[in-house]
Amino acid sequence: VMLDKAIKENQLTLYYQPKMDIQNNNIRGVEALLRWQNKSEGFIPPDKFIPLAEKTGLIHEITKWVLNEAINKISEWQKEGKNISVAINLSSKDIKDRQLIVYTKSLLDYYNVSPEMLEFEITETAILENGETVKEFLDEVKNLGIKISLDDFGTGYNSLKYLEELSIDYLKIDQSFVKKMNRAKSNKIVKATINLAHELGIQTVAEGVETKEMLELLTDMHCDIVQGYYFSKPVPDINKIKFIA
């Protein structure tokens, strides 16, 4: 496949989307989202090529590339006086990769970046696919000082079990619930999720926040962090993000 050329020929880039503190509209960090600019086919979205990369095993190389790029970016921003943490998305296959944590640690040392500036986003599906090894993996990540987000919360299976067993810093409420918040039922689900997370000492991130109305509802529900097109789409250069005062 052409995908193996993507890394070698410099066709991958990271876009960044801000995560905003709902209290003061300050940026809390960014999520790094992978983009593949292919010469013949143009722009290919991650939903299209990540599954392929998982099948071929190329995902390990891709995740390493993302890690290197993201940690390098944190250190560049630090030199400009910006303290912005970066969250990267891990694939289900990455959780099986014992070398990944060692590699991450070596990058953090190399770029002189503190582990709290890095965050791993892990989906419920990825947790389900890895069984008992997940806890070990996440404990190691936690011990290193890297933050952990449970991504797409509510779409998987056994969501509540994970909350009880795993040490998670952030819970990301899936867009599908946030989008339907004007409907009474979804509204209650989002509200109850936020309350439950808070009871467990976990902060909440609402994904897919597109309107002022959504933001206001989430503020009333005491959600901690919001992410979505209302603030900014993912962009290649965070200096271009216009923040709402």
Give the C-alpha separation, 219 to 130, whole Å: 35
CB of 122 to ligand C2E, least distance (A): 10
Q: Which stretch binds Ca ion (CB under 5 A): 17-25, 65-73, 87-95, 232-240?
A: 87-95
Residue 181 zone, left/alpha/beta (φ > 0; ψ -120 to 50; rest): alpha
Question: 237: closest CA among 21, 24, 52, 82?
Answer: 82
Query: Which residue lies nearer to ligand C2E by CB, 121 or 124?
Result: 121
Q: Does residue 89 interact with Ca ion by CB under 5 A?
A: yes
**Residue 143 · residue 167 · CB < 8 Å:** no
CB of 39 to ligand C2E, least distance (A): 20
CB of 80 to ligand C2E, least distance (A): 23
16 has which bridge partners?
A: 32, 235
CB < 8 Å & 24+ apart, contacts of 26-30: 27/84, 27/241, 27/243, 28/85, 28/225, 29/84, 29/85, 29/86, 29/87, 29/119, 30/84, 30/85, 30/86, 30/87, 30/238
Query: Which residue lies nearer to ligand C2E by CB, 194 or 227?
Result: 227
Q: List residues near ligand C2E by CB under 6 A.
A: 17, 33-34, 45-47, 50, 66, 88-89, 91, 121, 151-152, 208-210, 228-229, 234
Query: From ligand C2E, Ca ion, none, which one binds at residue 66 (CB under 5 to 8 Å depending on kind)?
Result: ligand C2E
Q: Does residue 94 interact with Ca ion by CB under 5 A?
A: no
Q: Does residue 124 interact with Ca ion by CB under 5 A?
A: no
Query: 219: how many CB neighbours lie within 10 A of its CB?
Result: 12
Q: Does residue 152 interact with Ca ion by CB under 5 A?
A: yes
CB of 147 to ligand C2E, least distance (A): 15
- What is the phi/psi pair of residue 115, to 5°? -60, -25
CB of 238 to ligand C2E, least distance (A): 14
The contact mask relative to Ca ion for 17-56 (x = CB under 5 A, - = no) is: ----------------------------------------
CB of 124 to ligand C2E, least distance (A): 11
* Cα–Cα distance list, 40 to 8, 36, 43, 44 (Å): 16, 12, 9, 11
Residue of closest CB approach to ligand C2E: 228
**Residue 9 · residue 38 · CB < 8 Å:** no
Per CB under 5 A, residues contacting Ca ion are 89, 121, 151-152, 207
